[in-house]
């Protein structure tokens, strides 16, 4: 059985693990003559999650643009077309929703094991763990 992996989703947050995930996505895209969609999700907390001192947001729009432009350059150096997208919301939920939306035609999700969240999960990051369980598409977690 041949699994077609023409469109690979690589969620990015600028962490070393997300860059490792991107590199793996580029590698797989080269093997299958596919493309990579890099998805940067600007984390927006729920109304009750706002800290009394205000919400500290490291994922500014300019930082997201830089992450995506760096990713495009990284893919281009390997001859791979990368489409950058950025959205605001809950990273795990929105990555899984994007992957599951048939309009996006995603065949595989390649995600870093842990991102930038301050809480160190025991085995997986909370976002990659959520995506692993909620995605209807195959998920490759890169450590």
pLDDT single digits (tens) 105-129:
999 999 998 765 555 444 456 889 9
Give the Cα separation of 112 and 60 in Å (integer). 20
114: left (phi over 0), alpha (psi -120 to 50) or beta: beta
The single residue listed with the structure tokens 């939920």 is 93
Q: What percent of the chain has pLDDT over 90?
A: 62
Please choose, from the candidates 27, 37, 12, 24, the residue with its C-alpha nearest in 3D space to the C-alpha of residue 141.
24
**Superfamily in which the 7-142 domain is placed by CATH:** HUPs (3.40.50.620)
Which DSSP letter does residue 63 get? H
Q: Is 141 helix (H, G, I), strand (E, B) or coil?
A: strand
Give the Cα separation of 117 and 13 in Å (integer). 10
Q: Is 41 helix (H, G, I), strand (E, B) or coil?
A: strand
- Confidence at residue 108, expressed as pLDDT on a 0 to 100 scale: 97
Q: Which residues of the chain have pLDDT under 70?
A: 1-3, 45-59, 115-125
**pTM for this model (two decimals):** 0.85
- Confidence at residue 1, expressed as pLDDT on a 0 to 100 scale: 47
Give the Cα separation of 81 and 102 in Å (integer). 20
- Strand order of the β-sheet with 82-89 is 82-89, 35-43, 7-12, 108-112, 139-142
The single residue listed with the structure tokens 């699994």 is 3
Domain boundaries, the chain: 7-142
């Amino acid at each position: 059985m041949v699994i077609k992996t023409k469109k690979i989703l690589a969620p990015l947050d600028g962490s070393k693990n997300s860059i490792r995930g991107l590199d793996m996505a580029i590698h797989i895209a080269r093997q299958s003559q596919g493309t990579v969609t890099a998805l940067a999700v600007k984390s927006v907390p729920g109304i009750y999650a706002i800290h009394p001192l205000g919400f500290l947001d490291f994922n500014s729009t300019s930082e997201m643009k830089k992450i995506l432009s760096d990713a495009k350059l990284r893919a281009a150096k390997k001859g791979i077309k990368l489409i950058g997208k950025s959205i605001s919301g809950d990273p795990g939920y929105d990555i899984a929703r994007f992957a599951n939306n048939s309009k996006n035609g995603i065949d595989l999700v390649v995600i870093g094991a842990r991102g930038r969240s301050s809480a160190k999960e025991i085995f997986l990051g909370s976002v990659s763990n959520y995506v692993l369980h909620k995605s209807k598409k195959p998920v490759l977690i890169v450590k």
